[in-house]
């Protein structure tokens, strides 16, 4: 496999048809990552974030990716680092399971399509009980879920998130009780991650804070993205109300 230089990232963007948001984050140089290819024709691609998240794309029949994928997995095992591999096709699933047999845990997730028309005609939540605040460094220090460690894992650093990402939260008595942040973002897409304090659930806060996130996306010509585990019925229900429909199943592999 060859490493694709950044000057060729625009061509890769034109080549791929579907990909997780973090792939676009790499290609738009918002997070650190590496792109491997088999040939200059980009028939097979392997994307790798600094934090250990991977995505395979293209022609799964090519064998050039086998060694690189096995090497990345072995490095993750030896260094006790994260290994999370995304696959959007059953053909890739078969190849991955053959290549890394009995060493992986398989999880199934949904990615949804956002329909702005549904969102605009939904039943609105009504008046918010709490003030919406944009995520800032002091708020990150007080977050229950999206703390400095979170941003270092997904954004390489807190400062990079504050520069290129965005998020919103509700604060009650100086405590963050609900939060929606971009786990990944590119020039076109923003993937949402939501947390609500267990003591404040059932008040519609997740829906309301998600609306703040989506409204920001629409104002800034970004496509909001919603993914979740196929068993997460609460997330599926909430996403559907907000205009995220037509679930497409994909697979994640992690170290077993």
The predicted pLDDT at position 125 comes to 66
Predicted local distance difference test score (pLDDT) of residue 144: 83
Q: How does residue 127 score in pLDDT terms, banded at 50, 70 and 90?
A: low
Residue pLDDT, tens place only, 29-79: 999 999 999 877 788 999 999 999 999 999 888 888 889 999 999 999 999
Q: For residue 135, what pLDDT is reported?
A: 97
Measured in Å, how far apart are the chain's first and last C-alpha atoms? 26
The radius of gyration computed from the CA coordinates of the chain, to the nearest angstrom, equals 19
Tell me the average pLDDT across 104-108.
Answer: 97
Determine the CATH number of domain 2-102: 3.40.630
- Could you report the per-residue pLDDT of 155-209, keeping only the tens digit for each? 999 999 999 999 999 999 889 999 999 999 999 999 999 999 999 988 999 999 9
CATH topology of domain 113-246: Aminopeptidase (3.40.630)
* Structure confidence at residue 101 (pLDDT): 85
pLDDT at 185: 98
Q: What is the per-residue pLDDT for 154?
A: 97
Give this prediction's pTM.
0.94
113-246 has the same fold as 2-102: yes
- Structural domain boundaries in the chain: 2-102, 113-246
Question: Residue 27's pLDDT is what?
Answer: 98
Residue 210 pLDDT > 70: yes
Q: Residues 2-25: pLDDT tens digits?
A: 899 999 999 999 989 899 999 999
């Amino acid at each position: 496999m060859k490493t694709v230089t950044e000057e060729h990232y625009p061509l890769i963007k034109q080549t791929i048809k579907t990909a997780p948001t973090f792939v676009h984050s790499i290609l738009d140089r918002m997070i650190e990552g590496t792109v491997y290819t088999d040939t200059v024709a980009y028939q097979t691609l392997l994307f790798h974030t600094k934090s250990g998240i991977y995505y395979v794309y293209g022609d799964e029949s090519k064998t050039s990716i086998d060694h690189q994928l096995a090497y990345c997995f072995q490095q993750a095992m030896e260094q006790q680092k994260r290994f999370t591999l995304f696959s959007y096709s059953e053909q890739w699933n078969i190849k991955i399971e053959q290549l890394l047999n009995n060493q992986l845990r398989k999880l199934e997730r949904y990615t949804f399509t956002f329909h702005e028309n549904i969102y605009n005609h939904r039943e609105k939540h009504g008046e918010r009980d709490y003030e919406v605040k944009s995520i800032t460094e002091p708020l990150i220090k007080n977050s229950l879920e999206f703390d400095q460690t979170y941003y270092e894992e997904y954004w390489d650093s807190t400062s990079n998130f504050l520069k290129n990402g965005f998020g919103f939260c509700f604060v009650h008595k100086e405590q963050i009780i609900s939060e929606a942040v971009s786990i990944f973002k590119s020039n076109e897409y923003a993937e949402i991650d939501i947390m609500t304090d267990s003591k404040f659930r059932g008040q519609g806060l997740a829906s309301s804070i998600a609306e703040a996130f989506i409204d920001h996306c629409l104002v800034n010509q970004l496509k909001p993205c919603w993914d979740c585990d196929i068993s997460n019925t609460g997330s599926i229900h909430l996403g559907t109300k907000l205009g995220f429909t037509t679930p497409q199943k994909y697979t994640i592999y992690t170290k077993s």
